Amino acid sequence: MKIRGAGRIARAAALGLKLAAINYSGKDIVGFKQYISNVAEFLKATRPTAVSLPNAIIFILHRLNTTTSENVEELKRVVINSAEEFIKYSKKATENIGIIGAKRIEDGDSILTHCNSSAALSVIIHAVREGKKIKVYNTETRPKFQGYITARKLLKECIKTTLITDSAVRAFMKKIDKVIVGADTVSANGAVVNKIGTSQIALIAKEANVDFYVAAETYKFSPATVLGEYIIIEERSPKEVIRNLEMPKNINVRNPAFDVTPPEYIDAIITELGIIPPQASILILKEHYGWAIRDYLLNEIFIDEAETTSI
């Protein structure tokens, strides 16, 4: 939790692999590939929900595994270059989401956001930089209070925000024109996994006929969900919920960190490649992660290379 936000987590994993490659002092190729694969597994195990993390890693591993070279230095370069490429792409993507998403914001809009998402903030910040006068409301986001980070970032950009408790969302929805949140994972059917509380906000927005947007870079779309895999929802320590309060010992506390918002509650997903209906997520996956789906089929389902050509 020292590094938060699905995009930042992915960039940190890419940086981790880059540093691992730089620090490798061995000379044999098999040893290098094994070492990088071990580091990749270690990094992947740090957080289970945000697919941006494994997506950053498989992007680099795919490049490594498809390079034919007998030279360790050359393979190290492949890892370093692809990690740098991913990081650069990620930062640019968040910026582009802001430029594209800002077109959906109108002068005078009141916007609600939840948790702390760089992609969602990018939309708000770009709209303000274009001269649109907007009001922002943001939730505290219990139990880790990432809403305070959002409030601080907005204030740094001279954007006033009103901080509200998570349970006050319905009371304020009549003042809201648009909701914009980020995403940790988007599944093949367009369902969005984001910080706990997001799906309640989507439900309230639907009831009030308020547009609900998700800002998500393409590396937050999950290729494994095309093949039926479920997204694991991280369950965190009960101590985050009860904090330092004296509680009876036998009380049962649950603390899921994320929830799932079904596609029917989402008006559009803002990506760096354009604004799509959530139902078009499968197209993003087939176009940009066809190689990952093929790798998965080849390595884990053991089908024939020829059978993957139509993906």
DSSP state of 230: P
For residue 274, give Cα distances in angstroms to 55, 83, 176, 267, 284.
20, 24, 24, 14, 10
Residues in the chain, total: 311
**Annotation says 158 is catalytic:** no
Coil, strand or helix at 47: coil
C-beta separation of 202 from 266 below 8 A? yes
Instruction: Give 11 or 294: the residue with its C-beta nearer to ligand RI2.
Output: 11
Instruction: Give 156 or 174: the residue with its C-beta nearer to ligand RI2.
Output: 156
User: Choosing from 109, 115, 267, 295, which is the catalytic residue?
Assistant: 115
Nearest-angstrom CA–CA distance, 267 and 102? 15
For residue 201, give Cα distances in angstroms to 142, 160, 197, 220, 262.
14, 21, 6, 20, 12
In the complex, minimum distance from the CB of residue 117 to ligand RI2, in angstroms, rounded to a whole number: 3
Task: State the residues that interact with ligand RI2 by CB under 6 A.
Answer: 4-7, 9, 115, 117-119, 146, 181-184, 194-195, 257
Instruction: Give 138 or 225: the residue with its C-beta nearer to ligand RI2.
Output: 138
In the complex, minimum distance from the CB of residue 146 to ligand RI2, in angstroms, rounded to a whole number: 5
Nearest-angstrom CA–CA distance, 275 and 266? 12
Instruction: Give 7 or 16: the residue with its C-beta nearer to ligand RI2.
Output: 7
In the complex, minimum distance from the CB of residue 102 to ligand RI2, in angstroms, rounded to a whole number: 15
In the complex, minimum distance from the CB of residue 139 to ligand RI2, in angstroms, rounded to a whole number: 11
**Annotation says 304 is catalytic:** no
Instruction: Give 94 or 295: the residue with its C-beta nearer to ligand RI2.
Output: 94
User: Choosing from 109, 166, 184, 267, which is the catalytic residue?
Assistant: 184
H helix count then E strand count, the chain: 10, 10
Nearest-angstrom CA–CA distance, 132 and 125? 10
In the complex, minimum distance from the CB of residue 48 to ligand RI2, in angstroms, rounded to a whole number: 11
The catalytic residues are 115, 184
